[in-house]
Amino acid sequence: MSGTHAHSAAFVRDRMIPQEPPPDRSIGALGWLRQNLFSSWLNAALTLVSLALIGALLAAVLPWVVHSSWTANSLSECREQIKAAYGPEESGACWAVIRERWSQLIFGFYPSEIYWRPILAFGTALGGLAPVLFPGVPRRALYLTAAAPFLVPWLLWGGTVWLPVAVAFGFVLGYAGFRVVAPWAGGILGAIAAGLVPVLWWLLLAGKAAGGLQEILPLGIEPVSSRNFGGFMLSITIGLTAITLSLPIGILLALGRQSRMFIVKVICVGVIEFVRGVPLITLLFVAWLLLNYFMPPNTNFDIILRVIIMVTLFASAYVAEVIRGGLAALPRGQYEAADALGLDYWKAQRLIVMPQALKISIPGIVSTFIGVFKDTTLVSIIGLLDPVGFSNSIRADVNWNGIVWELYGFIALMFFIFCFSMSRYSMYLERRLRTGHR
């Protein structure tokens, strides 16, 4: 302690100490290494053992990855090329299968001359999600968010432009129904009208209206059948739709489960418990085989749509339970304060309860989403050609019979990229929403 005068109890500092850099040991790369990897003998030993393991793993895998063939046209040709290039004892990856089949792994049997459509659809979907996911995006992009649910399916499946217009019109009708009925029949009947009118429209009239308009003014793009969908495009179509729809449905189910209205509560508990109690694969079989029996005859209910409904239902039930956990973690005082300020149920939920409950639930919700996205590979079992389904058919090809690691490695890598970005996003969101220390 410089500057203290030891001989007297009274003290006045006569020289101020300027800022000095910290000692070398605690900063820079060396400081980091010391603190994180070699802080104690145990830590140092663990570091060395881990380095050795990682080294051994890389030594085993890297040569296989690098000593590869990109140009061959069959597995046997691959092997010959590798032996010729790296010696008779070497084995290497046959990435040629990816080069030859990557377009199918990504687009399935979608006609190659209109690959731009799924790409544009994917871009539209991301553009529509952006203003929801990131606060920095200009608010005008929300128009794209509103248009995306109609634009994306139209781009993917094609056909007349009047169909998405007719579907969108259903929402206008619902809104109109609410505005007409609510003032004289009350909010609940208004809400029922807002739900019933569009459903009737979609089921009975929307198709005819779209057909009629198409005859008057033919506008459309080449239709693509669901049979041609496949690869990652299929996984993303199913996964992204199920994920975006399951959040609002999950929220409603979680709220319904806490409702004081007995019927609402019983229905929500029933749906959640039933769906959670049944394997997804069973639901997919139901979608594949049974759902058509419940539909009016001659309606050809698209298989991908059926699968999306089931996967969405499945995801919603899990999301609902995760959110229920978040709701339970919220102190009762928050509800009381909202009530005491005169906020009604929906405003309190929207402004006070959900922002906090969802924030608590982010890790769980994102885990559910990641799980759902990976579970889309199960559709291969009911004959849809998602990447896993496709890899089976590639392996059945005479040229590629016996290839395993390269295909699954590629698929795993693609899934990892998607899931890892979701996980990073959730961490970003948690950091952004952190307020104070409570």
Partner 1 sequence: MSDTAIDRSRLTVSDEVAIQILGMNKWYGAFHVLRDINLTINKGERIVVCGPSGSGKSTLIRCINRLEEHQSGKIVVDGIELTNDLKHIDQVRSEVGMVFQHFNLFPHLTILENCTLAPIWVRKVPKKEAVETAMYYLEKVKIPEQANKYPGQLSGGQQQRVAIARSLCMRPNIMLFDEPTSALDPEMIKEVLDTMIQLAEEGMTMICVTHEMGFARQVANRVIFMDQGQIVEQNEPEAFFNNPRSDRTRLFLSQILGH
Residues lying near partner 1 in the complex (CB under 8 A) are found at: 331, 333-334, 336-337, 339-344, 347, 351-352, 355-356, 359, 433, 435-438
Q: In the complex, what is the shortest distance from the CB of residue 180 to partner 1, in angstroms, rounded to a whole number?
A: 22
Residue number with CB closer to partner 1 (226 or 356) = 356
Burial of 363 per CB tally in 10 Å (0-12, 13-18, 19+): middle
Q: In the complex, what is the shortest distance from the CB of residue 334 to partner 1, in angstroms, rounded to a whole number?
A: 6
Strands (E), 58-110: none
Q: In the complex, what is the shortest distance from the CB of residue 429 to partner 1, in angstroms, rounded to a whole number?
A: 13
Helix (H, G, I), strand (E, B) or coil at 221: strand
Q: In the complex, what is the shortest distance from the CB of residue 179 to partner 1, in angstroms, rounded to a whole number?
A: 19
Question: Alpha-carbon distance 373 to 235, whole Å?
Answer: 7
Residue number with CB closer to partner 1 (2 or 435) = 435
In the chain, the amino acid numbered 435 is: T
Q: How far is CA 128 from the centre of its chain?
A: 14
Residue number with CB closer to partner 1 (151 or 357) = 357
Residue number with CB closer to partner 1 (251 or 317) = 251
Q: In the complex, what is the shortest distance from the CB of residue 321 to partner 1, in angstroms, rounded to a whole number?
A: 22
Q: In the complex, what is the shortest distance from the CB of residue 347 to partner 1, in angstroms, rounded to a whole number?
A: 5
Question: Alpha-carbon distance 115 to 355, whole Å?
Answer: 39
Residue number with CB closer to partner 1 (15 or 438) = 438
Residues 320 and 254 sit within 8 Å (Cβ to Cβ): yes
Q: In the complex, what is the shortest distance from the CB of residue 325 to partner 1, in angstroms, rounded to a whole number?
A: 17
